[in-house]
Amino acid sequence: MKIALLGYGKMGKVIDAIAQSRGHEIVARIGRNDDINQVSKAHVVIEFSTPDSVLNNINTCIDLGVPIVCGTTGWNDELSNVSYHVQEKKCGLVYASNFSLGVNLFFELNKKLARMMQKFDQYQVSMQEIHHTQKLDAPSGTAITLAEGIISNTNVQSWELGSEPQDHILPIEALREEDVKGTHIINYDSEVDQIQIKHTAHSRNGFALGAVIAAEWLMDKKGVFTMKDVLGL
Ligand SMILES: NC(=O)C1=CN([C@@H]2O[C@H](COP(=O)(O)OP(=O)(O)OC[C@H]3O[C@@H](n4cnc5c(N)ncnc54)[C@H](O)[C@@H]3O)[C@@H](O)[C@H]2O)C=CC1
Ligand SMILES: O=C(O)C1=N[C@H](C(=O)O)C[C@H](O)C1
């Protein structure tokens, strides 16, 4: 399969190596100042850039009719507009806040735990995410997906970055530390105990492999999908 990499930073480079190890050809490595029309040479684009570039990148790929796997975070509010554009142009998009198998299993575990906890209001839920210091968005896209999983399965109504624990609000603490690839922790605290679930990424390889598997899966499909569809969870 011919792949174009749109965004060639930390993730783009790891995806390059993993895609080639799976027999794919990288036909373009496109940075901020390069010609985006190079994506037309590819069967599929894998997009990991920045929150300020992602919308233009996705919309250009849709207009050029090239299917896209997008991992860039920080644009949740625009997902419905982008979905409309994908359907209108009969294109294909996989978007996931996190492409790793482990985190996608963790998403399901989080929802299941939230369903169990909803009738026990002596527990206050909270979340912590830790990432490297270059990360541009907070909270992480993964933390927002986890928060949505809790909100849709409990009587928590919203999440708040950096807030104190309060009824019906999920506080999210976002910490930035040197070289942390991505850690997400959910706590349910009562006066007498704590239940905690945690996912720790040891490298970027899990995110990158998931993105390449999503690109292989997307090839013959039209519509908007997420990693749950790709993995059949
Ligand atoms: N969904 C997932 O599984 C994961 C998502 N991410 C997200 O992916 C994004 C990228 O992460 P990293 O690679 O760590 O960041 P990075 O900062 O190392 O790389 C981003 C690259 O995109 C380039 N870029 C900026 N504007 C561009 C444009 N218009 N066209 C092409 N390239 C452009 C930048 O120059 C930079 O080289 C972030 O939003 C991050 O949160 C990161 C890891 C996993
Ligand atoms: O920026 C990162 O590095 C990561 N971003 C994603 C996110 O915002 O959730 C996924 C992963 O945690 C690494």
Buried b (16+ CB within 10 A) or exposed e, 59-82: bbbbebebbbbbbbbbbeeeeeeb
> Is 101-200 in CATH node 3.20.20.70?
no
Mean pLDDT by 10 residues, the chain (233 residues): 98 98 98 98 98 98 98 96 97 98 98 97 97 98 98 97 89 98 98 98 98 96 98 97
90 is catalytic: no
Catalytic residue among 10, 135, 221, 222: 135
**CA-based diameter of the chain, in Å?**
60
Which amino acids are annotated as binding site, given as ranges? 32, 71-73, 96-99, 132, 141-142
Cα 82 from chain centroid (whole Å): 16
pLDDT value at position 164? Answer: 84
Task: Name the residue with the closest Cα to ligand 2, atom 12.
Answer: 182
pLDDT value at position 181? Answer: 98
Q: Where are the domains of the chain?
A: 2-99+205-231, 101-200
Q: Which ligand is nearest to the CA of 15?
A: 1
pLDDT value at position 220? Answer: 86
Burial class (CB in 10 A: 0-12, 13-18, 19+), 118: middle
Within 190-229, strands assigned E span 194-200, 223-225
Q: Tell me the pTM.
A: 0.98
pLDDT value at position 215? Answer: 98
Ligand 2, from 54, 72, 73: best to mutate by most atoms within 8 Å of Cβ? 73
For residue 160, the SS3 value is strand
Q: Which residues line ligand 2 (CB under 6 A)?
A: 73, 97-98, 131, 135, 140-142, 182
Q: Which CATH number fits domain 2-99+205-231: 3.20.20.150, 3.30.460.10, 1.10.290.10, 3.40.50.720?
A: 3.40.50.720
Between strands 44-47 and 2-6, the pairing is: parallel
| CA–CA separation, 143 and 165 (whole Å) | 17
How far, in Å, from the CA of 141 to the mean position of ligand 2? Answer: 6
184 is catalytic: no
